[in-house]
Amino acid sequence: MAEAKQIMPDVLSIARSVQPIMLKSNNPQLQLPGEERKFVLVIMGTYYHTPTYGRLDVLRDVVLVVQEGKIVRIANGHEETEVQEEFGLAEVRQLKAGQYFMPGFIDTHVHAPQYQFTGTGTDVPLMEWLRKYTFPAECSFQDLEAARHRYSLLVKRFLANGTTTAMYYGSLHLQPNLVLVDSIERLGQRAVVGKVNMDRHSPDDYIEDTADGLRDAEEFVTYTLGKKCSRIQPCITPRFIPTCTPELMKGLAEIAQKYGCHIQSHISECCGEVNCVREMHPEYASDAAVFEEMGLLTNRTVMAHGTLLSDDDIRHLARRGTAVSHCPLSNFFLGDAFFKVNHALSLGLKVGLGTDVAGGISPSMLSAQRMAVVNSRCIRAHKLAVSGGTTVTPEMEKDVITFKEALWLATVGGAQALDLADVVGTFEVGKDFDALLVDTNLSGTSGPFDVFEGEDDDQRFEKFINLGDDRNLIEVYVQGVCVKRGDEFLLDGSNVSVKATEDDSDRIMSAPTPVEPEAAYLDLAHRADSSDEAASVDVGAAAEQSEPPTKRSRF
Distance CA 61, CA 329 (A): 36
Measured CA to CA in angstroms, residue 313 lies from 141, 182, 275, 322, 338 at distances of 36, 37, 16, 11, 16
List the Cα angle 456/462/466 in 5-degree steps. Answer: 145
Distance CA 298, CA 290 (A): 13
Half-sphere exposure of 88 (CA within 13 A, CB side): 10
In this prediction, the residues of the chain whose per-residue pLDDT falls under 70 are: 1-38, 494-555
What is residue 552's DSSP assignment? B
- Would you call 234 helix, strand, or coil by DSSP? strand
pLDDT at residue 555, as a whole number: 62
> What are the φ/ψ torsions at residue 519 (nearest 5 degrees)?
-60, 145
Q: How many CB atoms lie within 10 A of CB 491?
A: 16
> Which residues, in sequence order, are bridge partners of residue 251?
none
Contacts (Cβ under 8 Å, ≥6 apart) of 186: 491, 492, 493
pLDDT at residue 88, as a whole number: 87
Distance CA 39, CA 31 (A): 5
User: Distance from CA of residue 507 to its chain's centroid?
Assistant: 28
As a residue count, the chain comes to: 555
What is residue 210's DSSP assignment? H
pLDDT at residue 38, as a whole number: 57
Q: Classify residue 54 by burial, with Cβ atoms within 10 Å: 0-12, 13-18, 19+.
A: exposed
Q: How many CB atoms lie within 10 A of CB 514?
A: 16
Distance CA 279, CA 282 (A): 6
Amino acid at 390: T
Distance CA 519, CA 203 (A): 7
pLDDT at residue 183, as a whole number: 98
List the Cα angle 547/268/283 in 5-degree steps. Answer: 15
Long-range contacts of 460-466 (CB under 8 A, 24+ apart): 460/98, 461/2, 461/4, 461/48, 461/56, 461/100, 461/102, 462/1, 462/2, 462/403, 464/438, 464/440, 465/366, 465/369, 465/403, 465/406, 465/407, 466/370, 466/403
39-52 and 99-103 beta bridge pairing: parallel
Long-range contacts of 25-32 (CB under 8 A, 24+ apart): 25/89, 25/90, 26/90, 26/91, 28/89, 28/91, 28/92, 28/93, 29/482
pLDDT at residue 27, as a whole number: 41
- Would you call 77 helix, strand, or coil by DSSP? helix
Predicted structure pTM score: 0.86
Would you say 182 and 471 are in contact if contact means Cβ atoms under 8 Å apart?
Answer: no
Secondary structure (H, E, C), 158-176: HHHCCEEEEEEECCCCHHH
pLDDT at residue 479, as a whole number: 98
Distance CA 30, CA 36 (A): 12
- Would you call 233 helix, strand, or coil by DSSP? strand
pLDDT at residue 90, as a whole number: 85
